[in-house]
Each structure stands twice: as C-alpha cells, then as structure tokens.
Amino acid sequence: MSRNEIAVVPEKCTGCRNCQLICSFEYTGSFNPLEAYINVEDVNGHRMSFTEDCTSCGLCVDYCVYGALTWAEGKE
C-alpha cells in the first residue's frame, strides 16, 4: 500500500493527536508525537501529512475517532 491510500479530512480533525500517539508507540515504543510517521500541524485549523517512513499500516485510521483519517475510496 502507498501513503496515498489514506484519505485526510482536515476539517474533522480536532487536534487530539491520537494518530500520532498510536503511530509513535507502534514504531518506537513510546508515546511521543514527534516520533510519529504522521504530522498534525495547527495552521488555521489542522493539517496532516505523512513522513516518508509511513507504511500505511492503518493504525492512525483505526484510532481516529473523529473520521479525519479514513481509507481512500475502495480501500478497507
């Protein structure tokens, strides 16, 4: 899978950073948003981007309770 298969809906993002916490815990063993493969920026709302290390594992999608991260059309 490529990073492009995760759809971002920034207007639904509340800035809770659950996506960053689960990502950093899975890949580094610590709850540290700075170590996550997803970035959440507070710039006139919230903007999300993925680092080159992102594997599209989908944990961020699974833990986004607000629907700001979903699978792109046709993906589960």
pLDDT tens track for 16-70: 999 999 999 999 999 999 999 999 988 777 889 999 999 999 999 999 999 999 9
Contact predicate 62/8, CB 8 Å: no
CA separation for the pair 37, 26 (Å, rounded): 10
* Three-state DSSP class for residue 55: coil
Task: Give the HSE-up count for residue 26: Cα atoms under 13 Å, Cβ half-sphere.
Answer: 19
Please determine, for residue 73, whether its predicted confidence score (pLDDT) is greater than 80.
no
Residue 1 pLDDT: 42
CA separation for the pair 5, 74 (Å, rounded): 9
Q: Tell me what the mean pLDDT of segment 5-20 comes to.
A: 92
Amino acid at 69: L
Domains of the chain: 3-69 (3.30.70)
